[in-house]
Amino acid sequence: MLRLVTRALVAAALAAGPRAGTASPPAQCVAPARPGGGFELTCALLRAALVRAGVVPGLRTTYLPGGVGAVAFETFVTQRPAEADTLVAFSSGSLLNIAQGKFGKYGVDDVRWVAAVGVDYGAVTVGAASPHRSLASLMAALRADPQKVTFGIGGTVGGQDWMKAALLARAAGVEPRALRYVSFEGGGDAQVALQAGHVDVVPGDLAESERGARDGRVRILAVLADHRLGGRYAAVPTAAEQGYPVAWPTIRGVYLGRKVSDRDHARWVATFDRLLASEEFARLREEHGLLPFASTGAALESHVENTVRDHAALARSLGLPMR
């Protein structure tokens, strides 16, 4: 249960946090993909939270697409490793790619993990004009002919969106490698293609899909959670409820470059410890479509290590190559 802390108290508690008004270069959040996806959402949440709490006067979002996070990861290992006030967004999809060796020779020990700030869940989404109004209808079409259902995925085979589609297909008795897909750099591009009718279904994330669903541009058929979610998602059935027991939580958070000092790393961890316990952050997290999940510092490092191990085992079970 989150502690209720007033905004004023949070601002006071964070006075010793990152150098409010003095960060040089200015504090920034790097989204490792093109605009419109979950990485950008993470940065938008942190910008609102950190600025309103008085931690920094501003938080600029910059984009560093390529390899669904791989380019950014290598950049902050090899080229920009010591930027103390540059937070880089990551997700469970990033950890899945690390597990398969898609970030090259670099692994979980090559950056400094700071905080996980919320959890999203996979969502099976179709366009507003789609004939499918239930997951059962979509899965029936997939069983009839996998080549007639085009999936739009952020990343490539083995990536997070492909993994969701593969697990759904396997639950339906369809060989995952029979799926037809179109690859995009990130979830934002996949959502645009779905709304334009270029793909039939996007196994993306709930927070990404909910924007379009609210405007009537897409339809969410199922959420990939263990149980029916509450709040704004209460009307969305789970895949398990519809006979397909597939869950995919997507943790969202940030890391720092590998050569950021212990002092600066500890400064950010302490900042997020206080921020994540505040009522104001809980409100902002909900506004940005994320659900509660908080972990920082050593606890987050342990979570990352365990997730990478579990993802590696899952990838092997699906016959994916491990680099």
Query: Which residue type occupies 158?
Result: G
Residue 168 has pLDDT above 80, yes or no: yes
Confidence of residue 211 (pLDDT cuts 50, 70, 90): confident
As a whole number, the mean pLDDT across the chain is 90
- Band of the pLDDT at 277, cuts 50, 70, 90? very high
- Name the β-bridge partners of 60: 28
- pLDDT tier at 135, thresholds 50, 70, 90: very high
Q: In the prediction, which pLDDT does 231 show? A: 84
Tokens of 254: 């940030």
Contact call for residues 115 and 300 (beta carbons, < 8 A): yes
Looking at this protein, which amino acid is placed at residue 267? R
pLDDT value of position 25 = 67
What integer pLDDT is reported at residue 14 of this predicted model?
Answer: 40
Task: Report the b/e string of 212-247 with b at 16+ CB within 10 A.
Answer: bbeeebbbbbbbbbeeebeeebeebebbbebebebb
Q: Which residues in 195-209 are b (16+ Cβ under 10 Å) and which e?
A: beeebbbbbbbbbbb
Asked whether residue 18 carries a pLDDT value surpassing 50, the answer given is: no
Q: pLDDT for 216-257, tens place per residue?
A: 999 999 999 999 998 888 999 999 999 999 999 999 999 999
Dihedral sign computed on CA atoms, order 147, 206, 185, 98: negative
Which domains can be identified in the chain, with CATH numbers?
A: 7-120+250-317 (3.40.190.150), 121-242 (3.40.190.10)
Euclidean distance between CA atoms 247 and 244, whole angstroms: 9
Mean pLDDT, range 43-54, rounded to an integer = 97
Grouping H, G, I as helix, E, B as strand and the rest as coil, residue 35 is coil
pTM for this predicted structure: 0.85
Rounded Cα distance, 87 and 56, in Å: 13
> What is the Cα 238 distance to its own chain's centre?
19
pLDDT in tens, 99-129: 999 998 999 999 999 999 999 999 999 999 9
Local structure of 139: helix, strand or coil: helix
pLDDT at 210: 85
Q: How many residues does the chain have?
A: 323
Examine the pLDDT at 57 and tell me if it is beyond 70.
Answer: yes
pLDDT at 186: 78
**How far is it, in rounded angstroms, from Cα 185 to Cα 188?**
8
Give the pairing of strands 218-224 and 112-127.
Answer: antiparallel
Of the spans 29-43, 177-191, 208-222, 251-265, which averages the highest pLDDT? 251-265
pLDDT at position 22 is 40
